[in-house]
Structure 1
């Protein structure tokens, strides 16, 4: 025991008493529909690898070739040790895919949001953010030191009231997730874009979970809502549907040059490995070349969604492969997650502060690689659990 441990034990005890305490679990296999945990083979229903690209042979081979050519580490930040070809090629490919002039990659979605928002706004500005925005968005807003106002989730009327009452500022930002990670619902992007135009604001969209999943071509929530031409820049991640790691911002060449010179999370951090950029290029090519992956994803989503609804389980207003089963009580949610684990399903309970108090849930995520047998086993597990306890 360390002499400083008594400083931390009260907080850990408090979290434990509230059923909020977490721990890291060691998974003994690759990210796939089936994983090995504590020597047992389980069905993984908690991965954002929506298209099943994280373990694709072509993606792994692209990373391996880049390691052989460029090594493991990049050495320093890109403005110090230089940009390696895979980083440049990835940004060109992302810009082309998104029909944008330019793109800039970051080490993670968290870093992208911190860098983007703290570059866009300052103390003389105001940010209006959806209540359910990702933590990285809220932290980026706070880091900017702009005035921060929260509008009710997806509530366009409340947002407009706040816009009408806002003080005189240099710049107004309206910030939202495109697809909300814990509820699986889409932001009303068309209405938000209209308000941004009407009140001379900038609409900033975090499309982490929409990228590769939403829209006719998988370009994301903006494509799905028909507002790609109305939103001048947005952020998305590479570690979900694309199966790799990192994040991007796309926009005009001028805007990307602005970020290169102002985003501290780009300026002052070592570049991600070239191998990761090369793997992402391969994943992006697969995404565009194999639209049947998205078709399988949505077919699987519909099977599981309809099965859960028929049981009478309470789901959010999801419009995506994210299917949150609302349990409510934290202790009950933990019990359901454990019962699922005993039945061969890995789907941890999502509890505060990740979601609001009283809305703990089992957040199921479907992928293109799940089989019908996987989904049937999940549904049978829930049916079995429902027979012994009330979840509705």
Structure 2
């Protein structure tokens, strides 16, 4: 007779074996400055994470206010610097208010858990981020997934929803694995026709898109069109954390009922200071955003000339869809030997048969870095043909 400990061990071993057998086993790379590499895998789209002005702002605030906030926002952890950051984020996105949370994942869980239950209906894009899918599951809200960026399919689903049920449409702004952008205006119009609220997670658009770096939603779509806007601070803004922006009633509700907000220690004050510095640079140095979009155009022109299977993306996320896991790993390892780090994305993160290199571009990439990437990708092609 097996003990329960043996049953757990066997369960974990089966899961590990299954993942390994499909070339899907994930490993954490431990990185150091001893063996430098060119990073085409991260999300530091504006090159702010390494900007010494952010580091200086973080260090000064940590020395003055402490390394940690010491408590949750509702106890004694909500500092004046948090209040200032929330006001700046509200201004950037054209919303009445914003609310800080610890991570983008927690922001999405918090919103969906606080707003939804089994008496609501949630309609999500099929390629939404895992945190949005998990948030609806946590809330036990009946959830349907419409075909990717298909407003007609969403319209059909909404038309069948009960009229007396609170309804929420949820979509990524920029889809993190494909790099394409939601039709925010179309989603807003469709939601409005069916008296539904719209929630957009603009994690990968904030700082990158929009006239002011305010994302694919921002000031172009006000809080009446997009009542719930989520953004992260650890991508284009180079720091850490996340926020939800909306009207007074929404933010007050989240403060009361969003469990990931209520029961989490507040963001370290140094991180808030670094984010404020990043917002200053976003405003004062629009050339960073212009340089990023030049890099995107340069890469796409040369990659298409090489015949690489690019996805249709105008954002820093440039997937090269290779199909099977083993092929993706061969290309990623070849690039690593050339000193280049890219994301090797496989199922279940993307659908089976859609494994890809997820290349991400940054304003910090110079001509030499881009040339090295394109040359290494061309080498991968030649190796396969040999």
**Fold shared by both chains (TM-score > 0.5):** yes
Gaps of 5+ in 2: none
Q: Is the 8 A contact 1:126 1:169 kept in 2?
A: no
Supply the RMSD in Å over aligned alpha carbons: 1.6
What TM-score do the two structures reach when normalised by structure 1? Answer: 0.94
Distance 1:173 1:54 in 2: 34
**Residue 227 of structure 1: which of 199, 206, 221 is its match?**
221
Q: How does 1:1-392 map to 2 (within 5 A)?
A: 5-29=9-33, 39-223=34-218, 226-228=220-222, 230-389=225-384
Gaps of 5+ in 1: 30-38
How far the C-alpha of 1:227 sits from its partner, in A, is 2.5
How far the C-alpha of 1:342 sits from its partner, in A, is 1.1
Q: Is the 8 A contact 1:125 1:169 kept in 2?
A: no
Report the 3-state secondary structure (helix = DSSP H, G, I; strand = E; otherwise coil) of the residue aligned with 1:389.
Answer: helix
How far the C-alpha of 1:82 sits from its partner, in A, is 3.6
What TM-score do the two structures reach when normalised by structure 2? Answer: 0.95
Distance 1:82 1:269 in 2: 10
How far the C-alpha of 1:308 sits from its partner, in A, is 0.9
Q: Is the 8 A contact 2:77 2:266 kept in 1?
A: no
Distance 2:17 2:357 in 1: 24
- Stretches of 4+ aligned residues off by more than 3 angstroms: 2-7
How far the C-alpha of 1:348 sits from its partner, in A, is 3.1
CA 1:301–1:375: 2 relative to 1, 3 Å:
same
How far the C-alpha of 1:194 sits from its partner, in A, is 0.5
Deviation string for 1:328-367 (max 9, x for gaps)? Answer: 0011101110011112211131111111110000010000
Deviation string for 1:50-99 (max 9, x for gaps)? Answer: 00111111110110011101111211211112411211110011112222
Report the 3-state secondary structure (helix = DSSP H, G, I; strand = E; otherwise coil) of the residue aligned with 1:361.
Answer: strand
Report the 3-state secondary structure (helix = DSSP H, G, I; strand = E; otherwise coil) of the residue aligned with 2:384.
Answer: coil
How far the C-alpha of 1:192 sits from its partner, in A, is 0.6
Report the 3-state secondary structure (helix = DSSP H, G, I; strand = E; otherwise coil) of the residue aligned with 1:373.
Answer: helix
Deviation string for 1:162-187 (max 9, x for gaps)? Answer: 11112344211000000001000001
Moved more, 289-298 or 136-145: 136-145
How far the C-alpha of 1:317 sits from its partner, in A, is 1.7
Q: Tell me the matched-pair count.
A: 380
Distance 2:115 2:283 in 1: 31
Distance 2:307 2:11 in 1: 45
How far the C-alpha of 1:112 sits from its partner, in A, is 0.2
Distance 1:302 1:390 in 2: 27
Report the 3-state secondary structure (helix = DSSP H, G, I; strand = E; otherwise coil) of the residue aligned with 2:133.
Answer: helix
Distance 2:251 2:303 in 1: 44
How far the C-alpha of 1:384 sits from its partner, in A, is 1.2
